[in-house]
Chains A and B, each alone.
Chain A
Amino acid sequence: MTTELDLQLRDGWVEAELAEEFPELRLVHAALAATPGRSPRELKERLRGLADRYTGAKVIHMRQDSVPWAYRVFSRQVGIDPDTDRTPVEAIALERLRHGGLKSENLLDDALTVATAETGVPIVALDTTRVEGELGLRVSRPGEGLGEARPLSRSQIVIADEQRPVAIVLGEAAPYAGVTPACRHMTLCALQVKGVPRISVEEALWTAAEWLYTGRSG
């Protein structure tokens, strides 16, 4: 019998320079005890159910829905072309159209896919034990990178702990902070941008956390 999930959502810090430019930018994160592994049957079924909801017209018009639209606008404002580097929710929808379904990968990826597809809010997962101190948002400093193979360009917006960047906003996590098969405690981080209600962000984190914690959504 599993105990009830007690998820403490916390607001990360936002560096002053970034907060002045994007006053409504937030990083909401939550830590939980969960291990990566294979997806349970219920999660695979949920993925199939989600895939059935997508139609061509729905995907085309997705960019006008409030939450995907907000991330699209934010992408544009920070120099990402959302038609090339899709926002996570649009990437999921496009994958569904291209492959005729949402392919199950593993518990973590599937849980994040379900949470993002249902709420439109992108989530990144980090290994709690490899994160030092509080998480927040800031711009990269000269010479920083996500490991040696991934240098960061000037003024890149990153999720960082108190020591170093751990993920690129709307992008990938650093190899030294991402979830590995040995991970036992994860931190889920959701980015809130202007136009995205707090409740959507919380729902995204709860959805992902519940799947990861119990293998089924509450």
Chain B
Amino acid sequence: MAEVLTGHTGHPLRVPAPADERSARRTLREQVARLETELSELFCSSWPRGPKQLPLDWGVGGRGGPRLLSLAELEELRDELAVRVSEARRALSDRTWLEEQNRRRIEEMLLDPEAHHWEHVSSEDIGEPGCCHWHVRPRWGILGMFLNWWRVVISSGCPLPTA
């Protein structure tokens, strides 16, 4: 049993066959396909956030294609895609965490506006399209400020275009 576990079975070790480059290239192409799929999914998940909310470089440079890439070029491409996917995943995860905090802040503002004077959250801050924003403002202007009457004003419209 010990021989089996340690691999010392008394037989000479088999010399590995020379790597089949074509099969390696096929494997790399499959990895590239998988990574491209992941990158596409992350790109779609990032929508409607723009570069302001999610400053990410999605690009992975071309290699003068369409052409048959060598093993080294495919490896380089795979590695670059892997880096992009990992960066995108991290950035999106950080951003969605922040958006979750902002959603919670909206809840807190609605529950207790007096504790959140003048606080402002926009739909951009929670990763949604549109120009909606939640703003804690005093009821009846300066009178509300003195009497501590606060409320959340929800604006749902984009500003009208100016002529």
Chain A residues close to B by CB (< 8 Å): 17-18, 20-21, 56-57, 60-61, 63-64, 69, 72-73, 75-81, 83-85, 139-140, 153-157, 168-171
Contact = CB atoms under 8 A, between A and B. Distances in A.
B66 A63 contact: no
B51 to A, nearest CB: 14
A80 B68 CA distance: 11
Interface string B54-73: 00001111111111110001
A155 B67 CA distance: 5
Contacts of B120: none
B33 to A, nearest CB: 5
B22 A85 contact: no
A139 B66 CA distance: 10
Contact of B68 (A63, A73, A78): A78
A64 B67 contact: no
B124 interface: no
Given A73-B32, A76-B36, A79-B62, 19 more contacts: A21-B25, A21-B68, A61-B44, A63-B40, A64-B41, A72-B40, A75-B65, A76-B33, A76-B77, A77-B29, A79-B77, A80-B62, A80-B63, A84-B61, A139-B68, A155-B68, A157-B65, A157-B66, A169-B66
A170 B43 CA distance: 23
19 contacts: A20-B22, A56-B48, A61-B47, A63-B40, A64-B40, A72-B36, A76-B60, A76-B77, A77-B29, A78-B65, A79-B64, A79-B69, A79-B77, A80-B63, A81-B60, A83-B60, A139-B68, A140-B67, A168-B66
A170 B40 contact: no
B40 A81 contact: no
A60 B29 CA distance: 24
Contacts of B60: 76, 81, 83
